Structures are given as structure tokens and as C-alpha cells.
Amino acid sequence: MAMCAALYAVGSYLTAYIPSPWGVGQFRPAVIIPAFFATVFGGLPAGIGAAMGTLIADSIKHGYLYPGSYLAAVPGNFIGFFLFGYICHKKFTWGRFIIASNVTLTLANLIVAFLYVFAFKVLYTSTPAYTALTTETLVWVSIGLTVWWFVTMLPFVLLVTPLLIRAAAIAMPYIVPESVRTHSLKNELPKTQFGLAMLVPGAIMILLGLATTYTGLAGSLSQAIPSAMRDITLAMIQILFYGSGIILMVLGLMVLAGKKLLWQSSPSRTHQETT
């Protein structure tokens, strides 16, 4: 728990000043850390470590114990990565890892977004830019944050976390459960599942981009943004949807086409004998 919290706090703080298009929330590839701990050590160390880590990073950034973190980020991170560990730890397969990644990032980010908007911005701080909005618009802003976090986190969890798991299975096999170690070193990740895990969200992102461009969705997503920044932010949101969609679809197609990733190469004979 302490290692997960410390590493997650440092990793989160490194990107703490890269905000979402809405000016709240941050770019956080550091989710690979609690995802790794959830897979190797289980849900409780990962959940508590992620909750503590995000609170530390947010509080250091703001200079005080940040209410937005303990009201929204802490419960979301705890529930999300506890669930990740529950799905993966005791009976690990790459298929379960893919399911855990998608379920966790959807649920955790949904919890954080809605609690941040409704519990923190509306109820706790009564921020005028949010209290003036209708409930429907607040829901759309929360969904927008959820989608933004999801698409900026998913590629890192799916592409980088398996590399960390594989490295731990080789370097420190005694800390990695046998089921995780065996699948990490000998079993190839299911190509179809892994490809679709990125291809489908990518297609959804592109559809959301088209909806933002050609329907009233843009207006709903931008109501909480100051009018002076609205046009620029809307352009950023569209770039986010189109760009993330294209990247996810390309990665998915590469996997479906049989492109090998770094951590899918066969381990050396020595490492196989060691494990």
C-alpha cells in the first residue's frame, strides 16, 4: 500500500498541471501503477494505495488538503482499483486483465467525474460557473470528463502495465502470483480481445467527435467553460475525440493484424527456467 501510494503520488504529480479541456481534472498516465499493484498484489493494497496517492498528489498541487480529492478522487480510485484487483488477482488471464482495464477505467472515472462536478463544484464550493447550469448540462460535463479520462488512460494501462507485470515476473518472480507469472511469461495475450479492447473505444471516440462537430453535443459539453475560452476549448475537445479515436483504432488494428508488442516477445530460456 505504501509503495503504491508513494509511486502513484509521484507519477500523478508529474502530470498534475496538464488539465482536461474543461480546466479541471488532469492527464494521468500514472494509473499504470495501481493497475500493476492490483494485478500483482490484489485489490486492497491497490485500492488504498491509489486513494492515498491521489490525495497526496492533489494536496501537494493545491497546497492544502484538497476537498475535491477526498470527496471525488479518493472514493473513485479506491473503488476502481479494488475492483481491478478483484477481477485479476486470484485468477489471472489476459482476458480478465482486459475486462478489468475497461470496467475499472469506466466505473472509477465515472465516480470521480460525477462526485467532482456535483458533490464538490455544486454542493461544496457552490462554484457559480456550475451552479448556474441545468442538471442535464452538469451530467454532460461529467460524462465528458469521464470520456476524456478513459481515452487518455486506456492505452497506457493496456500497453504499459503488461510490460511492468512481465518485468516483475522476470526480475522478482517470488512476489508475483503463479497464475500471473505463468501467463505473463508464457501465454500470449489474446489478439482478438486485445485488439477489440482498443478498436471499439476508438470507434466510439470518433463517433463522439462527429457528434460534437455536427450536433448540439458541443453546446452541452461547453457550458461550464468561460465564454472567452469556449471556441478554443471546443476545438480541443474535438481534436481529443478524433485524435484519441484514431490512435486507439490504429493500435487495435495493429494488434488484430498480428503486430507483436515489446512485452509479447518470448522470454529467455534462463528466465523460463527460473520461473
Each residue of 12-70: pLDDT tens digit? 999 988 877 777 888 899 999 999 999 999 999 999 999 999 999 999 999 999 999 99
Is residue 272 over pLDDT 50? Answer: no
The span from the CA of 68 to the CA of 184, in Å, is: 37
Pick from 55, 57, 33, 56: which is nearest to 45 by CA?
Answer: 33
Q: How far is CA 153 from CA 87, 90, 189, 252, in A?
A: 19, 24, 19, 15
pLDDT for res 231:
77
Q: What is the dihedral of CA 211, 216, 221, 223, to 10 degrees?
A: 160
Q: Are 143 and 99 in contact (CB under 8 A)?
A: no
Taking only the tens place, the pLDDT of each residue in 157-207 is 988 999 899 899 888 888 888 888 887 766 666 778 778 888 888 888 898
The span from the CA of 44 to the CA of 10, in Å, is: 20
Instruction: Identify residue 199 by its one-letter amino acid code.
Output: L
Cell numbers that stand for 268 in this block: 529467455
Is residue 275 over pLDDT 60? Answer: no
Q: What is the dihedral of CA 12, 13, 17, 22, to 10 degrees?
A: 40
pLDDT for res 233:
74
pTM listed for this prediction: 0.83
Is residue 273 over pLDDT 50? Answer: no
Cell 465515472, residue?
110
Where along the chain do its domains lie?
Answer: 2-274
Q: What's the full length of the chain, in residues?
A: 275
Cell numbers that stand for 139 in this block: 451530467
Residues whose CB is less than 8 angstroms from the CB of residue 269 and which lie 6 or more positions away in sequence, other chains included: none
What is the mean pLDDT of the segment spanning 75-102? Answer: 92
- One-character DSSP codes across 165-209: HHHHHHH-GGGS-HHHHHHHHHSPP-HHHHHHHHHHHHHHHHHHH
Cell 495475450, residue?
189
Q: What is the mean pLDDT of the chain?
A: 85
